[in-house]
Amino acid sequence: MQLELDPTTQALLDAHGFDRASFERLRAAFRAGELSVDCNRVSGALLPPSEQHVRPLPPIGSPERAALAERGSEALRAGQVGAVVLAGGMATRFGGVVKAGVEALPGHSFLSLKLADLRSVAREHGSRVPAYVMSSFATHSVLREMIVAEQTDAVPVELFSQFISLRLTPDGEPFTSADGKVSPYAPGHGDLTFALRASGALQDFLAKGGRLLTVSNVDNLGATLDPAVIGAHLAASVQMTVEVGRRTPGELGGVPMQLDGKLQIIEDFRLPAGFDFSLVPHFNTNTFVLDAAALDRDFPLTWFVVRKKVDGRETIQFEHLVGELTAFLSCGGLEIARDGLDGRFQPAKDPEELARRQPEIERILRARKVL
């Protein structure tokens, strides 16, 4: 079927960087059987990471933690640190509203708390910490209104959009909704480096002396800007630091593994069938520190085939994942605490999880002077 677009849809796609040529290439490869869910799986020698690959963040109060914090503080005082907040996606898990604007704690939205943390760190260090918020076509207009009230000289906020693509049927035809229109979607947080460059935000950050970018999900309020984490990244002399936590039994998701001798984050759906997760004690929290200069290039990230249900029907999506940057950058894992006052993994993917985590989130943010 020929892809035909109405003017409104075409304008939406144009505004968010739809690459029709790439879409048609992927669609053709899928229809020819060259792209499939089975193609997602990695091939090569897989081994668990060594102790040198994943190092623990020293506990609060230890001399080692203090030394890392001072090293990170130097970078902050020099204005070398910025923060990326991932706030794109499809705005579906909180009843169709944009999660960044949901009241995470009384009187405070997810995004306002992420930015309050940056302002607190900027005040403490007398520095400027620019924030870059990645939206999607589904969240962009709401976020644009939200950041107007959040702008400060110490924490200027810039909004940039991830890209957009179109769903397919399992036969490779354009998927249409009940109104007969094609169905757009946001193709994964792997858009990060491409969208940062396309918006000009990365080049602007580098031109102003920026060196390091932290990256975290808007719904993980435990992932605050900690100078010790910045210091640990600098001490490791890598281009990318991945925060990892201890897995609980049965927990799935991306894991740090050596693939053909190189440490990478491998998503669970890419692992061999029957993979023994007990071999890997850690999982990826999707929180990173990145050397900004290393991002100024096109990465040949894999397009993964993802099956979704939309309106009760199966659809096909092609997605990029940011964790695959580990295949192209030197990287190291930093083991962080999940819970407690030093806990850095408090995700709230839906209202029920948020309700469970609110008391712990509030304790953490008060202890870190965000509240």
**Mean pLDDT (whole number) for 29-45:** 93
Farthest CA pair distance, the chain: 65
What does the pLDDT look like over 200-224, one tens digit per residue? Answer: 999 999 999 999 999 999 999 999 9
Distances (CA, A) of 364 to 69, 221, 247, 337: 18, 9, 21, 12
- Report helix, strand or coil for 135: strand
Q: What is the CB-side half-sphere exposure of residue 179 using CA atoms within 13 A?
A: 5
Share of the chain above pLDDT 70, in %: 99
Find out whether 289 and 241 touch, Cβ atoms under 8 Å: yes
Residue with tokens 């008391």: 359
Find out whether 230 and 81 touch, Cβ atoms under 8 Å: yes
pLDDT band at 2 (very low <50, low <70, confident <90, very high): low
The token pair at 100 is 């960044």
* Distance in angstroms (rounded) separating the CA atoms of residues 179 and 167: 15
**Mean pLDDT (whole number) for 18-30:** 96
What does the pLDDT look like over 140-187, one tens digit per residue? Answer: 999 999 999 999 999 999 999 999 999 999 999 999 988 889 999 999
**Mean pLDDT (whole number) for 53-63:** 97
Q: What is the pTM of this model?
A: 0.96
Share of the chain above pLDDT 90, in %: 89
Catalogue all structural domains in the chain, each as residue range(s) with its CATH number. Answer: 42-367 (3.90.550.10)
What does the pLDDT look like over 289-321, one tens digit per residue? Answer: 999 999 999 999 999 999 999 989 999 999 999
Specify the DSSP element, H or E, that contains 202. Answer: helix 201-207
pLDDT at 219: 97
Q: Say if residue 1's pLDDT is above 70.
A: no
DSSP 285: E
